Amino acid sequence: MIRGSDGLDYEDLAARLVGEPAKTGRNSILRPGSPHSKPFKDAFRETYDHYEEQGYPPLECYRSAYAQACVSVAERAHAHAYL
């Protein structure tokens, strides 16, 4: 598995060259056309990558990143409500 410059995971270089991202939980959130906002994707990516660097398994990375992204977006919306 390799990570492309677009931030998505690919099975190998050939898949990257033809633009076929791997079917991973991480990619399901980050792919273009995903219903999630850019701030959500940014928070998800940052947290997922941090947990991955720490050696956590993919499912734990996904769960933690999804939870953190939800909190991050909710906090942002709450802050904007008072501006």
Q: What is the pLDDT of residues 15-55, one digit of tens each?
A: 999 999 999 999 999 999 999 999 999 999 999 999 999 99
Asked if 44 contacts 61 with a C-beta cutoff of 8 angstroms, the reply is: no
pTM: 0.86
**Mean pLDDT for all residues in the chain:** 92
- Identify the sign of the CA torsion 38, 6, 27, 31: positive
